[in-house]
Amino acid sequence: MAFKHDIIEALKAIVGADYVVHKPEDLIVYEYDGSADKAMPAIVVVPETAEQVADVVKLARQNDVPIVARGAGTGLSGGAVAEKGGIVISLTRMTRILEVDVENRIAVVEPGVINLHLTEHVSQYGLCYAPDPSSQKACTIGGNVAENSGGPHCLAYGVTTNHVLGMEVVMADGSLQWVGGRTRETPGYDLRGIIIGSEGTLAIVTKVIVRLLRQPEAVKTLLAVFRELDQASAAVSGIIAAGIVPAAIEMMDDLCIQAVEPAVNAGYPANAGAVLLVEVEGLAESVEEEVEEIENVCNEFSPIEIRTATDADARERLWAGRKGVLGALGRLAPNYLLVDGTVPRTNLVEVLSQIRELSRRSGYPIANLLHAGDGNLHPSVLFDERKPGDTYNALTIGGEILKMCVDAGGVLSGEHGIGLEKQEHMPLMFNDDDMEAMARLKPAFDTRDMLNPAKIFPTGASCNEVAFAGAISRAGADAWI
């Protein structure tokens, strides 16, 4: 149609003809992220500068076209899926590390910088960037900001919001603004904190000022092997109850081990019901003491064995197994639905037992991978989308797991966001008034529901028979959908 042709030509004038994708056969690769959701955008643009992003947003606003900002597409809740079509702005050309201030331990980066590349770049100064999602080799800083991503080491160091000081953002009207700054504290409202984790619904991030940490003096990684998942879960609670907060405590069950060990050869025993990967870092003396304390706690829960990796190669092998689990699940099933609920650590045994029973009752295998130290569960429901009804059944099982988490005093997401995947489950945690209060942010940012529409809040399609029309009318037409 002529209208669409006019927009395409205008976009080419902004970013260059080579960086506008509009043919259906080329758009297919942008119809999904790491979740089970799919939707085709009308156009994809790949800008190189913040000014180009701003011009694209202005053009979209003039033509009432929705926009979805996209990083590497590794997200696991449908956040980068263009549910309403429109324009996808891929930020993967914006990959510059603009500044490293060694003295103040900060860096200024563009949103397309790969997470791991930042740590590799600043390692020459003895520094690192703490947040380390499992997709660290592929995910981008901008995507991490949108989802407030965590990772194994968030137990000790916190998630993305704890390491972002300021951002340059493009608002829905196309204006460029800075929020936050170069210091940990700034006066006024914390707009930085509001935008982090808002999943691209309030603004598009074009530069990020991140906080860097010194590399630890010493690092040791323990592999504790247990016959039963319950023993490993109890050991996690025991470690934290003893007043020990390691850098990371990760857990994998037998299905995860079956999938990843043949692929990675990390050294996980085939007869294990579960393994714990515990990393300790800091001053050499304190690391030695902490490792001994952790071994003592684990020994209370009858482990098959405990191994300690002290050199870099051995540690890397163990972590390659942990970070390779999701990809390796393809050995067991064509598809998986990864659930991202969080529960109090003291409820791990109870909730994992309920998930095992759900797996038995439903007939669908569920592989359990956990950021166990902070109770962040990642049960992966294995299924085959080619089988009629399998995707629906997997999503139903995922919803049941989320309800288990909330009923146990937990929350719907630890790090992957709400996106499309969990939006209809928001009533498990929030009532009408809660969601109205949150929904008022979007009109305050004057988004006109143009930025990543149909995300986070229930659309009304299947809200567990809860009616939200009242809240929508009170918050305004721009509130949710």
Tell me whether residue 424 is in a domain: no
Tell me whether residue 296 is in a domain: yes
Q: Distance between the two ends of the chain, CA-based, in angstroms?
A: 26
The closest alpha carbon to 150, from 115, 119, 180, belongs to 115
CATH code at 346? Answer: 3.30.1370.10
User: Is the pLDDT confidence value at 261 over 80?
Assistant: yes
Domain count, the chain: 5
**388-401 pLDDT per residue, tens:** 999 999 999 999 99
Q: Are 260 and 280 in the same domain?
A: yes
Please tell me the predicted confidence (pLDDT) of residue 392.
94
**3-48 pLDDT per residue, tens:** 578 999 999 999 999 999 999 999 999 999 988 889 999 999 999 9
**420-441 pLDDT per residue, tens:** 989 999 999 999 999 999 988 8
Q: Are 109 and 192 in the same domain?
A: yes
CATH code at 154? Answer: 3.30.465.10
Please tell me the predicted confidence (pLDDT) of residue 476.
40
Q: Are 284 and 345 in the same domain?
A: no
d(CA 448, CA 453): 9
Domain boundaries, position 260? 218-327
With H, G, I as helix, E, B as strand and everything else as coil, classify residue 200.
coil
Confidence band of 185 (pLDDT split at 50, 70, 90) = confident
Please tell me the predicted confidence (pLDDT) of residue 5.
84
CB burial of 321-333 (b: ≥16 within 10 Å; e: otherwise) equals: bbbbbbebbeeeb
**120-162 pLDDT per residue, tens:** 999 999 999 999 998 999 999 999 999 999 999 999 999 999 9
d(CA 26, CA 9): 17
Picking from 67, 90, 113, the residue at the C-terminal end of a domain is 90
The closest alpha carbon to 199, from 109, 306, 67, 320, belongs to 67
Tell me whether residue 152 is in a domain: yes
Confidence band of 460 (pLDDT split at 50, 70, 90) = low
Q: Are 136 and 208 in the same domain?
A: yes
Q: Are 385 and 290 in the same domain?
A: no
Picking from 32, 56, 90, the residue at the C-terminal end of a domain is 90
**23-34 pLDDT per residue, tens:** 999 999 999 998
Please tell me the predicted confidence (pLDDT) of residue 3.
52
Q: Are 64 and 101 in the same domain?
A: no
CATH code at 16? Answer: 3.30.43.10
Picking from 90, 112, 134, the residue at the C-terminal end of a domain is 90
Residue whose structure tokens are 């500044």: 99
Q: Are 320 and 343 in the same domain?
A: no
Tell me whether residue 70 is in a domain: yes
Phi, psi at residue 249, to the nearest 5°? -135, 110
How many CB atoms are closer than 10 A to CB 405? Answer: 30
**201-227 pLDDT per residue, tens:** 999 999 999 999 999 999 999 999 999
Tell me whether residue 413 is in a domain: no
Q: Are 236 and 189 in the same domain?
A: no
Q: Are 107 and 168 in the same domain?
A: yes
d(CA 206, CA 94): 8
User: Is the pLDDT confidence value at 471 over 60?
Assistant: no
Tell me whether residue 412 is in a domain: no
Tell me whether residue 418 is in a domain: no
Q: Are 255 and 362 in the same domain?
A: no
How many CB atoms are closer than 10 A to CB 352? Answer: 25
pTM: 0.91
d(CA 265, CA 318): 9
Q: Are 278 and 340 in the same domain?
A: no
Element (H, E) at 161: none
**71-87 pLDDT per residue, tens:** 999 999 999 999 999 99
The stretch 393-420 carries a mean pLDDT of: 95
d(CA 75, CA 443): 26
Instruction: Compute the mean pLDDT over every residue in the chain, rounded to the nearest whole number.
Output: 92
Q: Are 224 and 316 in the same domain?
A: yes
Tell me whether residue 423 is in a domain: no
CATH code at 223? Answer: 3.30.70.3450
The stretch 323-330 carries a mean pLDDT of: 92
Cβ neighbors of 201 (< 8 A, separation 6 or more) are: 442, 447, 451, 452, 453, 455, 456
